[in-house]
Amino acid sequence: MSVSGALVERTSSFLESRFSRRSFINRSAMAGSAVAIGAGMDLALKPGTAYGAICSCGNAECDCGSTCCSGFSDFCCSVNGGYNYCPSNTIMGGWWKADNSTYCGGPRYYMDCNATCQCLDGCGGGFNFCDTSCDGTNCGCGPEGCNSFLTGCLQFRYGQCNQDVACMGRIVCRVVACIPPWEVDPSCTTANAVDDSTAEQNVACWTAAPPSPPPPPCNSPATQCKVVGVGASTDGGGYAILTSFGKLFPYGDFADLGDESGVALNRPMVGISARPGGGYYFVAADGGIFSYGAPFLGSMGGRTLNAPMVGMACTPTGNGYWTVAADGGIFTFGDAQFHGSMGGSHLNQPIVGMAATPSGNGYWCVASDGGIFAFGDAPFHGSMGGQPLNKPVVGMAATPSGNGYWFVAADGGIFAFGDAPFDGSMGGQQLNKPVVGMAAPRSPAGYWLVAADGGIFSFDVSFLGSPA
């Protein structure tokens, strides 16, 4: 999926100016997270605590006894116009719980809203945070100055939410709710962290229920609205839809050879590719490869990645495949040849997908801003890089000739280049869930788009079914 999944707007409250132990109960979803105050300041951790006893201020005019210097993030309703939701350009990075809160009559849940990264500088080598110049926020105090908590200062992540997003920015604010985080953001897991001392913290703008309607519920129990992509069968007579939890939904002549549904995954699935000659592969965010009726030729599973995987493509022989990471790194297996990558280069936006040329001697990578990077014999026919988009690009497909390609955006908008014909789009139309990917058959025209709920949109190709 895309680097995200969607930017959510959700629920919030206020903290006492004292420090507390945030113990991990059960397994924590992300290890090695750090705390940093401001740009270029030293990391501050005290053994036995998450944030530690910090006297660092978002404003130099505040003293160590002030709220702003206590080391806690402000509540989202304080910095988001009274709304108890994550602001735009933030994403939930993790959560903790406080039991026996009188405000909720039981457990109360706190969810950190981390800024999204506009570039990937600083991420990698096990460090989960982009450079402060990339996250579009500034370190400071909330709207009441020294009497507010911090905003845009802390680099910290518990990690139970949006685990497919390996790189995040600083915490802008935190949401507080009486309902579990996975009911606010379905990407959150149940791995539990506890800080009971925060149970009675409050601000005037906090409410037990969100002041705005929550996001619409998922209308597809089968997919749980966690579809990550669609792959076309090699003869173009079918397609299959893949969810992040490894469930396959095949249609037409796409053969069902198995999936990973019901299996505990280390990281979510992010892509699917049919193998010429039969079978197919899944790739997970950690680089793990799952093969069905196809030879396993290696993977990056279990190895350290600078950024999560976002997609893959098979060679025309069926004896190799490439995988691509969000930072543009390319990994080759079998007879797949390395023709170059964007790994280690500055990207304005992360890579979200790839496609290979019919010869197998080249490939393209596309970024969420529509920028295209061509390698080997893959021709450059244009891009959307530097142009305004209504929604980010989430995937691409190449024409059978290799002389053109399409991009698809989250709103279903289609961008066609080279000999790729424009056969229609969902741009400007109401969608139940965002589009997350596309596939094209081996024919001169046509393509399928798939939404997060599994809805299929067919253009100049046959509709063969969907789970939505």
3-state secondary structure string, the chain? CCCCCCCCCCCCCCCCCCCCCCEECCCCCCCCCCCEECCCCCECCCCCCCCCCCCCCCCCCCCCCCHHHCCCECEHHHHCCCCCCCCCCEEEEEEEEEEEECCCCEEEEEEEEEECCCCCCCCECCECECCHHHCCCCCEECCCHHHCCEECCECCCCCCCCCCCCCECCEEEEEEECCCHHHHCCCCCCCCEECHHHCCCCCCCCCCCCCCCCCCCCCCCCCCCCEEEEEECCCCCEEEEEECCCCEEEEECCCCCCCCCCCCCCCCEEEEEECCCCCEEEEECCCCEEEECCCCCCCCCCCCCCCCEEEEEECCCCCEEEEEECCCCEEEEECCCCCCCCCCCCCCCCEEEEEECCCCCEEEEEECCCCEEEEECCCCCCCCCCCCCCCCEEEEEECCCCCEEEEEECCCCEEEEECCCCCCCCCCCCCCCCEEEEECCCCCCCEEEEECCCCEEEECCCCCCCCC
Q: What is the pLDDT of residue 208?
A: 64
Domain positions in the chain: 1-214, 227-459
pLDDT tens for each residue of 301-339? 989 888 889 999 999 999 999 999 989 999 999 999 999
Class of domain 227-459: mainly beta
This prediction's pTM = 0.64
Q: What is the pLDDT of residue 11?
A: 25
Q: What is the pLDDT of residue 126?
A: 76
Q: What is the pLDDT of residue 30?
A: 38
Could you say which residues of the chain have pLDDT below 50?
1-54, 211-213
pLDDT tens for each residue of 369-392? 999 999 999 999 999 998 999 999
